[in-house]
Structure 1
């Protein structure tokens, strides 16, 4: 991403706990958390810190933790990592060693015992569901999402066995051919958001049996055809993680990141028109 704006580690550098906001296009990554033999966002961040001599060997800096684990293909606006960092490690210096689709755009001073996972008070995700108005009944979709709001045991909407009781805040808005679903909770078990989206789409596009939602939220496990599969990962974005610390954005990184994501938007819109041209022109 260009020339580094920071310096490499010096043995005399003092460190303090800092938190960093991270935005990324997750389509090229097998999720956030490190895995053997596949690219992940965490690998990209730690590789950058090693290049800056902040991270030793194959390990992690002291205090290293992230706000959460996003699945393969999921993107983020406000993923957050925290660790003991030297004062010179600005968002611009961090970003200078990152690949083009990962941006550290803000940082915050944090208490010595700050933990990016456990100190998050809430997390919010946004899902962009392709749902043309002539295919989806907005009222049914909105009503289904409202029924899922509040505290429930979502064990039938996640592969996790623990931490399945959550108090969910929900919102749905139409934006052209898309429904934008926003979900907020203190935390999310795996695939919960994507399975909620699948259930909302199922009700919006058809008329499931009257007790379908009741069965999903019941203590009895669903299996086989009754199960709710996760919606595709790529339309999902981690949009907010709340903490008591105050983040300060880096103007240079923010400007460059906006330009990069706008270029990706234009590229995607252009390719969509190419696909539309071919698809609509093929003979019946």
Structure 2
């Protein structure tokens, strides 16, 4: 019986998060259903089915990880043919029996900001967050330890390329996203989205660097600060890496998921055009 880890890509829009919930569509429930359907697993305990992370409703992924053991040779595209288009297996790796995907070497999250923000100010606040801090003010749930280490934060202003300018001529440069890529071993629940609220507030001069440093070094028994989380739909779990484990990406599977994303863009463009034409018609009436 072999143990395999799979790297999962999914569009989180139509899911109520990753973790199984009664009577709700989730990524984990879909994966388990189709793995059972194809006879890769039966009993979850015997197959030692494990997951790396429980993303919230609306959060997307290119790199979440599951693992299980099976007597069948895992065939990525057989599973993908059974799965719905908004979940696809992108890569696999053989792993040892004791492998637990929860214990990663590095996780990368990307948050997309669409506001016209000063990149230099975002880089200033990023420097404050790098390193080891007490993130108790940046989580929704009480946990035994809230100390986490941010290895790196990269800020990238993305210009719309020629394709997007041609296909979406009505999009303005102010809608070009800013990528905030955050790297660390582990993260608390809502931690990235609360961090992004502070990034945006600092860029809009609503909070100072000294106040941010106080949030990261709260006094013992002090009340938890209220930080409103940013929207989930702009967050992507980009990758999870493990020491000594190398995933093999399936070219066909990645291209198939890419085509699904392109097709969804086409549908969004049509919806955009319909709404834009209605707005213009209403403006003509005024």
- Residue 174 (structure 1) aligned with residue 160 (structure 2): no
Contact in 2 for aligned 1:54/1:61 (Cα 8 Å):
no
Contact in 1 for aligned 2:113/2:179 (Cα 8 Å):
yes
- Structure 1 residues not aligned, in runs of 5+: 1-14
Q: CA RMSD in A?
A: 2.1
- Residue 164 (structure 1) aligned with residue 115 (structure 2): no
Q: Distance in 1 between matches of 2:123 and 2:138?
A: 18
Task: Give the secondary structure class of the aligned counterpart of 2:101.
Answer: coil
- Residue 104 (structure 1) aligned with residue 103 (structure 2): no
The aligned length equals 263
TM-score normalized by the length of structure 2: 0.85
Aligned to 1:38: 24
- Residue 21 (structure 1) aligned with residue 10 (structure 2): no
Q: 1:276 to 1:218 in 2, by over 3 A?
A: farther
Contact in 2 for aligned 1:62/1:84 (Cα 8 Å):
yes
Contact in 2 for aligned 1:155/1:164 (Cα 8 Å):
yes
Q: Report the Cα offset of residue 251 of structure 1.
A: 2.6
Q: 1:211 to 1:278 in 2, by over 3 A?
A: farther
> If each structure's helix is expressed as a fraction of its own residues, which one has the higher value?
2
Contact in 2 for aligned 1:63/1:115 (Cα 8 Å):
no
Aligned to 2:163: none
Q: Distance in 2 between matches of 1:228 and 1:40?
A: 27
Q: Distance in 1 between matches of 2:131 and 2:106?
A: 14
- Structure 2 residues not aligned, in runs of 5+: 160-175
Instruction: Encode CA deviations 1:177-214: one digit per residue, 9 max, x unaligned.
Output: 32110101100000011011111111112342564213
Q: 1:210 to 1:97 in 2, by over 3 A?
A: closer
Aligned to 2:271: 271
- Residue 122 (structure 1) aligned with residue 106 (structure 2): yes
Q: Distance in 1 between matches of 2:133 and 2:270?
A: 42
Instruction: Encode CA deviations 1:265-284: one digit per residue, 9 max, x unaligned.
Output: 23234434444554566547
Instruction: Encode CA deviations 1:32-65: one digit per residue, 9 max, x unaligned.
Output: 11111211100000000111123326x4552211
